[in-house]
Amino acid sequence: MRTRQPLFLLASALVFAAPLGAQVGDTLRAHKLPADRPAAMKVDGLLTEAEWQAAPVISDFKQREPLEGVPATESTEIRILFDANTMYVGVLARDRDPERIVARILARDKVMEPEFDGKPRFGGDDGIAILLDPFHDHRNAFVFATNPNGAEFDALITDEGRTFNVDWRGVWYVAAKRVREGWSAEFAIPFRTLRYPVNPATWGFNAYRVIRRKNEEVLWTSWSRNNEGFARVSRAGHLEGLEGLREPGRNADIRPYVLAGHDRTRPDGVLTNRGLGDVGVELKSEVRPGLVLDLTYNTDFAQVEVDDQQVNLTRFNLFFPEKRDFFLENSGIFDFGARGSFEPPPFQLFFSRNIGINPSFGEVPMIGGGRLSGRVGNQTVGVLSAVNGAKYGEPATLFNVARVKRDLGSANYIGAMVVDRRSDSTWNTASGADFSWWPKGALNLQGFVASTATEGAGGDDIAYRLGADYQTNLLGISASHLTVGAEANAAAGFVTRTNIRRTQSNSRATWRPTSFLNLRRVNMLLWTDHVADMDWQRLDYTTTVGLRPIWNTEDGIGLFYTRGRNRIVTPFTLTGRVDVPAGDYLYESRSIFLSSGRARPVMGDVNIDLQNTFGGTLHNVRGGISATPGKHLALRTGYSFSKADLPNGAFEVHLVSLRAGWTFNTRVALNSLIQYNSLAKNVSANLRLNIIHRPGSDIFVVLNEERGSDASTWDPRNRALRLKVTYLARL
């Protein structure tokens, strides 16, 4: 019997960690509206009401880009009003050249987007984002953003940017207008959308603006490049004056749905038609301040956008992000493990796409589920339970997840998690402890240790990771070591590979010229990656050097060279076409990446990667062009070409995609995605119409079609039409 150390030992020393304090002195006071005010505030984007002039204002924004700590070139004024039910945020984004304000986006959830490292950034427009930390826990926050068109964007930040969940949707309102001084915006955010404690004394608050034509980024606080930024909730300022709020109640939200549809399939050449109809319901209730209960029955995800097609040119599984509503709110609480950079996560204890999806066949019926998540005192907690129905030869399966994180100091935590997956035929349990510690503002230490247990022989083993990340304006260094045992099996999670000891390091030196070729910064990069098995026998190693200049226009180029070796222990088949035998192979890669600035109405990017690998060559060219001819229309075309020439065979793959979106207004949008895969001889199309008939209530019309076969690309295979109507009742 294998002996294990207690899982909490790795994090126990952190109890004595010195706290990292939030910035002090940056305070905004909210102004309470008179209780006898004759009418509610009119949310029209214009700050014309007298109450706005009576409210305290903040305007001392500083640059993060291009000149760190220098006052913003254009003034930004923010005021906050509130009544018993709603917080109102008023923004005046002054601009001395208002004709040059960039505003092309009208579609929802496009104003901001996550960077490659998950941190938030603005898209191609001028914009303003506000951050609210109602529990003032210095870790988790709500984000609401808009642009001069009044486009809506909301997101959740967990653990100071460890996750930036852009798929979360709250119930709130915003309007924006062009004005003589620049542009202005009004946010109306119901308190029940925010979740807040009883008698809150102080909230965390920050604001972030981009002036797109200058590519200038300004923040109220947390503007330093020393591992700060908008996502660093602990470095936000303070919001005071929210006195006399109603004591949070249970605030039940009930959202039933009605679904109708028709499927037309042609398996094995036999045409089949099937009509369908269904009903289901979701319930959300705040069982205590900050602790939210979500229940769902007969869950349906017909409205979810389809995944982008990918061709797997590696020996590991592909990773697709979660997009389904039920799993999105507070999803960052359940994040445990190692995240990948430019690769799938090496080890995640829980991956929600195991619920309701069979990776080989597709959607599995989700009978129901529940989730309890939020804040309890100094703890962040999450409990999730869901049941998959039987399908594709797999029995009904029960998933249970429990997660807790205990605050230490201002921004540190220790946590634990248990994940269990079981059916009538088998069970698997994975558990672990993790921590995050900020000994200094620019330095973050993280780690975890986990164990897995499976019914029968095999599946009992451990995994652990320890990492450090130090980031300043001119220097960045990160290093980590990850071990995943040979028998480690997180059946409800995601594990790229087992039987490894992996050590990585990333180094960055940044040069910021004052006036040279209009350059904003030049990053010089050095990455190393060494992988051995549990007996310390070398499997893979690579060393990468890179140069990444970025201009003030945000146009950029990246040049990378990688050299190393890969040892294949178990033979595999690349894309199901070419066998790669066991052996020790040279790995060499030359890459170039080109991208244009986001302020341009037409943007493009190209990535060329030329590899010597597996005894032959593997070349990949991919890129795309995005265009926004006006605020209603958005276009994106993408193309990828891969060519392999290996000792046991060769192949070529073409992937083509076309996205087109027409946003009628902030409540009605039509989006389409057409994809072609030459390897599968497959053409797929997704058309989705979304009508928000009242906030939180939607009508979706979704058409999915797939054509192709081994004989002909145009043979119709599947067609599915869905009409889904939801209605939100707030009790």
Report residue 522's pLDDT band, with 50, 70 and 90 as the boundaries: very high
Distances 590 to 248, 557, 561, 595, 609 between C-alpha atoms, Å: 57, 14, 5, 17, 6
Per the model's pLDDT, the better-predicted residue between 303 and 129 turns out to be 129
259 and 723 Cβ atoms separated by less than 8 Å: yes
> ω before 66 within 30° of 0 (cis)?
yes
How far is it, in rounded angstroms, from Cα 621 to Cα 607?
Answer: 6
- Token pair 């109708």 is at which residue? 260
Which residues fall within 8 angstroms of residue 494, CB to CB, at 6 or more apart?
317, 319, 344, 345, 347, 348, 351
Q: Which pLDDT band, with edges at 50, 70 and 90, does 713 fall under?
A: low
Q: How far is CA 649 from CA 40, 405, 538, 612, 644, in A?
A: 70, 51, 27, 15, 8
Three-state DSSP class for 494? strand
Look at 426 and 3; give whichever has higher pLDDT. Answer: 426
Question: How far is it, in rounded angstroms, from Cα 112 to Cα 285?
Answer: 29
Domain boundaries, the chain: 20-240, 290-494, 499-524+545-656
pLDDT value, residue 13? 33
pLDDT digits 0-9 by tens, 136-185: 999 999 999 999 999 999 999 988 888 888 878 889 999 999 999 999 99
User: With 0-12 CB in 10 A as exposed, 13-18 as middle and 19+ as buried, what is 38?
Assistant: exposed
User: In this predicted structure, what is the pLDDT of residue 679?
Assistant: 87
Exposed/middle/buried for 182, CB within 10 Å: 0-12, 13-18, 19+? buried
Rounded distance, CA 187 to CA 185, Å?
7
Q: CA–CA separation, 197 vs 199, rounded Å?
A: 6
Rounded average pLDDT over 487-504: 95
pLDDT interval class at 1 (50, 70, 90): very low
- pLDDT for the residue numbered 323: 78
pLDDT tens track for 16-41: 333 333 333 599 999 999 888 777 78
Q: pLDDT value at position 208?
A: 98
Q: Which residue has the higher pLDDT, 13 or 588?
A: 588
Mean pLDDT of 249-277: 84
Whether the per-residue pLDDT at 389 is higher than 60: the answer is: yes
Dihedral in degrees, nearest 10, Cα atoms 103, 106, 108, 114: -30
pLDDT value at residue 393: 83
Pairwise CA distance, residues 408 & 8, whole Å: 15
Q: Which residues share a beta bridge with 370?
A: 295, 385
Measured in degrees and rounded to the nearest 5, phi and psi for residue 186 equal: -125, 125
Mind listing the pLDDT tens digit for each residue in 403-448?
Answer: 999 999 888 999 999 999 999 989 999 999 999 999 988 999 999 9
Q: Is 515 exposed, middle or buried (0-12, 13-18, 19+ CB in 10 A)?
A: exposed
Average pLDDT over the chain reads 89
Please count the CA atoms within 13 angstroms of the CA of 440 that sit on its side-chain side. 8
Interval 485-504 mean pLDDT: 95
SS3 422: strand
Note the pLDDT of residue 658.
Answer: 96
Percent of the chain scoring above 90 in pLDDT: 68
Q: What is the pLDDT of residues 624-660, one digit of tens each?
A: 999 998 899 999 999 999 999 999 999 999 999 999 9
CB 524 within 8 A of CB 513: no
Band of residue 4 on the pLDDT scale cut at 50, 70, 90: very low
CATH architecture of 20-240: Sandwich (2.60)
**Which residue did the predictor score with more confidence, 712 or 625?**
625
What pLDDT score does 712 carry?
58
Please report, as a single letter, which amino acid is at residue 346.
P
- Asked whether the predicted pLDDT for residue 360 surpasses 80, the reply is no
Tokens 């990773």 found at: 319
Model confidence at 268, pLDDT cuts 50, 70, 90, reads low
CA-based radius of gyration for the chain: 26
Q: Which amino acid is at 455?
A: E
pTM: 0.88
24 contacts: CB under 8 Å, gap ≥ 6: none
